[in-house]
Amino acid sequence: MLSGRLWPAHPHPYRDELLSSWLVRIAHANGLKVQTFCAQEFGNDYQIWNRDIDRLAPVWLIETISRKTGTPLKRAWNTTLLGYEGRLYDNYHAAGQLRWILPLQIYHRKRKGFGLQFCPVCLAEDVEPYYRRSWRVALYTFCPNHDVMLLDRCQNCGNSVIFHRIELGRPNLINPMSFTSCWACGYDLRSSPSKPVEKWNDRTFQSWRKALHLIEKGAIGRSSFDYSKLAVVHQFCALIVSIRLAPKLMLYLAEKTNQPFSPVKQGRFPFEQRAISERHYVLGLAWWLIGYWPIRLRMAWFHKAVRYNVLGKDFVTAPEWYISEINGLLEKTSGVNIPGKAGGAVLE
C-alpha cells in the first residue's frame, strides 16, 4: 500500500480530462501498472474496470482520488460524465441512454461499442498524452482545435480504445507513453492518419465548432450560449434518420445543402450508437437546419419534408422557444402561408 496522506506522485487532472485517463496516469506516475495500483489502493473486493467509471464512478473512488491527490472534490467529480447533467442531458440515470453521451457497451470487461473517440493530433501534441471527457460526447465528430475528424477505433486492427487494458499480459510494461497504444495490436494511435473536416457551409461549421469549444471548456450554462439549442439539434438528428417519422427530411436537407444523399443504417436505436461517419453527416444537416432560426425549419415544413406533429415527438423537455414555433406551424396548417426568407436569427 502507498502510505501517507497523499500518494507519492499525485498528478492533478488536465483540462477536460476523463476520470479513467486520470486514474491511469496516477498509477503510472507512481511506477505501478494500472491493475496493480488499483488492487493495492482500493482492494481486490472493489471492482473498478468492469464498469464505465467515467459514467458510473462510485462515491468512494472519487473521494479517495480527491483526497490522495489533493484535488478539490468538485474538480474530481468534473472528470466524470456527471458534470454534463443539466447541460447536455437533463437528468442523470445509471442505466439507459443519456442524451449525447457515447456508450461503451461493456460486456464482461470488454467493450462492444466505440464510445471513446480521440484526436490523433491532440495526443501527438500533448507533452503527456491524456484522453478528453469531450471525446465521450456524440456531438463531437471532429476536433475543434485542429479541424480534423475524430477517430473511434484503432486504424490498424479496428478495435475500440481501451487504454487501461494495454498492460494486461505484458508483465514488464509500465510505460506512460504506452497510453497511446492500441491494447490489441500495439499500434500507436498518435500515428493514425488525420482527415481534415470538409466545411461545406462556413456558418454551419462555425456555430458547431463554437459549441464544441464551449463543451470542452466546461462553459455551457455559464455563458451566453443557450444549451437548449443542443437539445433541439438532437431532436433534429433523431428525425433526420427516422424513415418512420420524417421519411423525406434527409433528402430535402441534402438537396438544400448540396450534399450527397447518404442513407444511414435503419433501426430504432439511439443516435449515440451510430457510426461516427453517420453522426457527422446527420449532425451537419441538423446544424444547418437550426441556422437562421426559424426560417429553414418553416421552409422544410412548407415543402412537406417534415410535419409539425412529429417535431415534438418524444421531446418531453423541449424549450419554450421551440414549442412556440411548433404551435405556430400548427396554426399555419389551415392556411397557405409561404414562410419568408428574411428575419431569421442565428442561435448562439
- Per residue in 255-297, pLDDT (tens digit) is 999 999 998 988 888 999 999 999 999 999 999 999 999 999 9
pLDDT at 226: 82
Whether 7 maps to a domain, the answer reads no
Q: With 60 as the cut, is the pLDDT of residue 1 above it?
A: no
Tabulate helix, strand, coil % of the chain (nearest 5). 40, 5, 50
Assessment of whether the complete model's pTM goes beyond 0.95:
no
β 110-111/142-143 pair status: unpaired
Q: What is the pLDDT of residue 47?
A: 80
Based on the domain organization, do 172 and 216 belong to the same domain?
no
Number of domains forming the structure of the chain = 2
In angstroms and rounded to an integer, the radius of gyration of the C-alpha atoms of the chain is 22
| Whether the predicted pLDDT of 332 surpasses 90 | no
The string of DSSP letters for 135-186 reads GGBTT-SEETTTTEE-B-S-TTT-----GGGTTTT-TT---GGGGGB-TTT-
* Same domain, residue pair 35 and 171: yes
Report yes or no on 11 lying in a domain: no
Q: Are residues 111 and 235 in the same domain?
A: no
- Placement of cell 467509471 in the chain: 53
For residue 126, tell me if it sits in a domain. Answer: yes
Ramachandran class of 261: left when φ > 0, alpha when ψ lies in -120 to 50, beta otherwise: beta
Residue 10: inside a domain, yes or no? no
Range of the domain at 248: 202-332
d(CA 183, CA 58): 25
Q: Are residues 160 and 242 in the same domain?
A: no
Per-residue pLDDT at 172 exceeds 80 = no
* Same domain (yes/no): 74, 181: yes
